Chains A and B, each alone.
Chain A
Amino acid sequence: MPIYEQTYRRYEARGPLRAVRFWPITREALRLVLAKRAFLGLLLVGWVPMLARVVQIYIVTRFPEANRVLPIDGKLFGEFLNQQLGLSVLLMIFGGAGLIANDLRTGAILVYLSRPLTRRDYVIGKLSVLLLLNLSVTLAPALLLYVVGLGLAPEQYLKLDLWWLAPAIVTQSLVMSFSLSLLSLAVSSLSRSARVAGLGFFGLFAGLEMARGVLRSVFDAKWATLLSLQADIRAIGATLFGITMRRWEQVPVLDAGLVLLALAGVCLALLRSRVRAVEIVR
């Protein structure tokens, strides 16, 4: 009939929702991000420190005396991951800033959410992009370095008392990646401009570092170190790998963990409120 009744009708979906619904979002976003040559260059540059460490391991295996100057032990991996932190921040600025911001600006978020996807799928899809990017410059090179270490210097690394090394690498990489990715995504959801979101992420990171610096140097407030995301992440790594942190970076690992968890909570709450198909304008 040409005119339909306007009474309530039950929605009957055609079929069950797919289990891994977010993957197309991740795949497409990765494709767009990796299409930028400058970004690919940045990813490649991220592997250079790993190559330097491979050379370090090789030198020590050939010239054992070099171990005094360039020690190769479990801490090497922790230090390597600490080094990659700066690169991860850059990746978040250039790869992560526009992930949600561009969708908000173009209205693409409505297109996503008009598919059989929930907001959670959308966020997981976008977060996965950042996680994969981060892990490609943290976990992947660190694990490869570990394998190279096992191969080149089995007497150093193939020991029972270093069983914790691989799990530590995985844990620290995940802590670093999750923290930075969630923060970057949350900041991206706050703006419709990728440029502003990128600068905002950097500003937040740098601003907290500045605040830490001033509070510590002027007021000797040790708790201020908790404000530094860098210090919090490094504190986890220091505990996992047995690294001695610099005095100004020292912070109790439990406190650091709580700060990171609290940050994750704030970011998720922000994402929950910002990722909507429609923005109500009053």
Chain B
Amino acid sequence: MTPPPVALAASESKPQLGFWRGLRGVYDIALEGMVWSRRSLLMAVMLSLPVVFALLYRYALVARLPAKIRGFDLYGVVIALFYIRNALPLAALFYAVSLIADEVEDKTITYFFTRPISRASILFGKFAAYVVTTLTLTLPATVVTFFLLTTARGTAEISAAAPHLFRDMAVIALTLIVYGALFMLFGVALRRPVIPGLLFLFVWELLALLPGYLPRFTLTAYLRSLVPHRPPDEGLAEVFGQTLPLGLSLGTLGILLAVFLGLAYGIFSRRDYVLEQ
């Protein structure tokens, strides 16, 4: 005999988990996978290269270089040229483009989708894990590089330079967050996001070096404007491009961040993922 149908009582249905609680749960799972991975080891090596340079400078080259090349100026080159222009966007591409794609490829996304959490919690939980992982890999290296370079010829310049360190760390965080949001959007919107990501980084962002209004169409122009480190000599000045107003840079980056995150959420929340059999 067929059992009688179940009468559905509204009070039986619990609501989905709150956004922050869901985010925290996803973040814990994602962080565990991200931190102890080969990918992070490779990133740690790349993001720690400035420490190697700093050690080289301090213990092998400082006596041979002219005194006008200050350690703080070299630190400025590391921040603006190495981190903000190259290494951090590459790190963002490396991680953020795969945030959801890896879960889909590995078919573990099913476990997130079959929990009473919102898609927003899943997406932003993964994003939060990415931000924490990359900051953990970058900020200590930045601090160590700062101290190694600025104290290479004595401690005189360290107190004047210290506020720059805190500002630079904030800009590093903003760089990782903004590029991460953009590449996360690429990752959810495009089937093959790596090529567009590389093209964006190494072709589109070159617009920042051009005069006029064109740099305003890049992310790097705004980010580098937030760290106006003076270059050690005129020869390098050209790679720094224009310096945009602080308010404009922050405002634009804020709006772009909201747009990238909003679009990424909009696409992710509507898509049903057909996992490969």
Contact = CB atoms under 8 A, between A and B. Distances in A.
Chains A and B touch each other in the complex, with CB atoms below 8 Å apart? yes
Q: Is the interface of A mostly helix, strand, loop or mixed?
A: helix
Interface stretch (B85-93, B112-120, B162-170, B267-275): B85-93
A269 to B, nearest CB: 16
B42 A203 contact: yes
Interface in B60-116: 61, 65, 69, 74, 77-78, 81-82, 86-87, 90, 93-94, 97-98, 101-102, 105-106
B53 A214 contact: yes
A266 interface: no
User: Interface extent on B, as a size class?
Assistant: 20 to 34
Contact of B194 (A199, A204, A219): A199
Given A193-B98, A206-B90, A219 B65 contact: yes
A214 B52 CA distance: 12
Given A200-B39, A219-B61, A219-B65, A207 B194 contact: no
Nearest to A211: B49
B65 A203 contact: no
Contacts of B161: none
A202 interface: yes
A193 B98 CA distance: 10
B49 A198 contact: no
A217 B232 CA distance: 11
A219 B57 CA distance: 8
B194 A195 contact: yes
B158 interface: no
Contact of A219 (B46, B53, B82): B53
A152 interface: no
Contacts, number: 65
A196 interface: yes
B46 A193 contact: no
Interface in A211-225: 211, 214-215, 217-219, 221
Contacts of A210: 49, 82, 86-87
Given A206-B86, A214-B81, A217-B236, A199 B94 contact: yes
Contact of B101 (A191, A195, A198, A218): A195
Interface of B: 38-39, 42, 46, 49, 53, 56-57, 61, 65, 69, 74, 77-78, 81-82, 86-87, 90, 93-94, 97-98, 101-102, 105-106, 194-195, 198, 232, 236
Interface of A: 93-94, 105, 190-191, 193, 195-196, 198-200, 202-204, 206-207, 210-211, 214-215, 217-219, 221
